[in-house]
Amino acid sequence: MTQHDTKTPQFFLTSPSRCPYLEDQMERKVFTHLVGEKASEMNELLTQGGFRRSQNIAYRPACESCRSCISIRIMADEFKPTKSMRRIINANQDLIGVEHNAEPTSEQFSLFRAYLDSRHRDGGMSDMTALDYAMMVEDTHVNTKVIEYRRRGPDSFITGQGEGPLVGVSLCDRMSDGYSMVYSFFDPDSEFKSLGTWIILDHISRANAQGLPFVYLGYWVADSPKMEYKSRFKPQQHLTPNGWELYRGK
């Protein structure tokens, strides 16, 4: 069994592989293991330094000829929804999200498979099994939560719980300065509209309710259409060589 030093993190570099966002580009990543009693503290420091978490691995791009991946975080305490976002909020008022410990369920996996088969059939996660999904959720040494979204019931205002089928799920890390969104998915055929956007808006609302200033969205690539949605949530900060700076793009 491979042993990892839990006190002094060691960093490794992956071999080049094809970039999933930009054609004709190759990507490399630097990564370390998040294990031991200091894992949460290390995860926060690395997330604030532009890393992302996948299971018990923290990684960030280390490409030789490209710097297109930019870490971004929404300034939740200053966020103002656009007119279209307000319409999405109003359209989904019948939904409620409930936060759970990071424990996978068969219902979550069924929704996850439906989402992948509809939206990402040719993606890198398309072959994930139930065991793979379980590892994605529970292989964590940090404060990870699963938020399940369902329709509000007649007693939801008392119990705080939803009812009926699961329509959306978010896997996220709760940190001292905000939420880091690891992965989210939803029913591609749901009557609820723009669920991907609404789940992000819900995290902003949760951060505000707890006095947390940020929601971390991972990487944004300006030339990648699949990343365009992340730039809509303003104000936001981008991690630059000079630290986190307010994004003043269009």
Q: Is 164 helix (H, G, I), strand (E, B) or coil?
A: strand
Q: In terms of residue numbers, what domain contains 32?
A: 12-70
Q: Given pLDDT bands bounded at 50, 70 and 90, which one contains residue 1?
A: very low
For residue 21, tell me if it sits in a domain. Answer: yes
Phi, psi dihedrals of residue 104, rounded to the nearest 5°: -75, 155
Per residue in 18-68, pLDDT (tens digit) is 988 888 889 999 999 999 999 999 999 999 999 999 999 999 999 988 999
Q: What is the model's pLDDT at position 3?
A: 52
For residue 20, tell me if it sits in a domain. Answer: yes
Q: What's the rounded mean pLDDT across residues 92-116?
A: 96
Q: What is the pTM of this model?
A: 0.92
**Domain count for the chain:** 1
For residue 24, tell me if it sits in a domain. Answer: yes
Q: What is the model's pLDDT at position 200?
A: 98
For residue 47, tell me if it sits in a domain. Answer: yes
Per residue in 120-167, pLDDT (tens digit) is 767 678 789 999 999 999 999 999 999 999 999 888 887 888 899 999
Residue 2 has pLDDT above 80, yes or no: no
Per residue in 17-32, pLDDT (tens digit) is 998 888 888 999 999 9
For residue 114, tell me if it sits in a domain. Answer: no
For residue 93, tell me if it sits in a domain. Answer: no
For residue 92, tell me if it sits in a domain. Answer: no
What amino acid is encoded at 158 in this protein? I
For residue 61, tell me if it sits in a domain. Answer: yes
Tally: H helices and E strands in the chain: 6, 14
More confident residue, 225 or 177: 177
Q: What's the rounded mean pLDDT across residues 98-118?
A: 96
Q: What is the model's pLDDT at position 233?
A: 97
CA distance 112 to 106: 10
Burial degree of 26 (CB within 10 A; 0-12, 13-18, 19+): middle
